[in-house]
């Protein structure tokens, strides 16, 4: 039975989608607003456009979360898992190329 993602994971997924959809527009506005060779009126309009974008579309709103548990701390980014979920999957042999070390 597959796990159902919790609310935090679903919220994070929707935020990532919103950031990705507005990335091109945000970069264009940022470029125009920071370009000192343009007239100040154009730069001001670009800054107003940048400010008008929804807060949910800001890239710093995206937080790494465990895809299994939704935990926001102790994330191993290569696998998208928190350290505990990573350990459980590694011990079961569900992660390719990962095995328990012994010396």
Structure confidence at residue 98 (pLDDT)? 86
Q: Which helix (H) or strand (E) holds 42?
A: helix 40-52
* Domain boundary assignment for the chain: 1-63, 64-97
Give per-residue pLDDT as tens, 22-75. 999 999 999 999 999 999 999 999 999 999 999 999 998 888 888 888 888 999
C-alpha distances out from residue 34 to 22, 29, 45, 58, Å: 18, 9, 12, 17
CATH class of 1-63: mainly alpha
- So what's the architecture of 64-97 in CATH? Irregular (4.10)
More confidently predicted of 21 and 68 = 21
Phi-psi region of 54 (alpha: psi -120 to 50; beta: other; left: phi over 0): beta
pTM check: above 0.75? no
Structure confidence at residue 1 (pLDDT)? 47
């Amino acid at each position: 039975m597959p796990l159902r993602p919790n609310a935090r994971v679903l919220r994070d997924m929707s935020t990532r989608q919103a950031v990705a959809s507005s990335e091109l527009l945000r970069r264009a506005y940022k470029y125009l607003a920071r370009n000192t060779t343009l007239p100040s009126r154009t730069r001001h309009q670009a800054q107003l456009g940048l400010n008008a974008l929804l807060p949910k579309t800001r890239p710093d709103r995206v937080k790494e979360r465990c895809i299994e548990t939704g935990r926001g701390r102790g994330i191993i980014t290569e696998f998208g898992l928190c350290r505990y979920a990573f350990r459980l999957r590694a011990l079961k042999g569900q992660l390719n190329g990962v095995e328990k070390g012994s010396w």
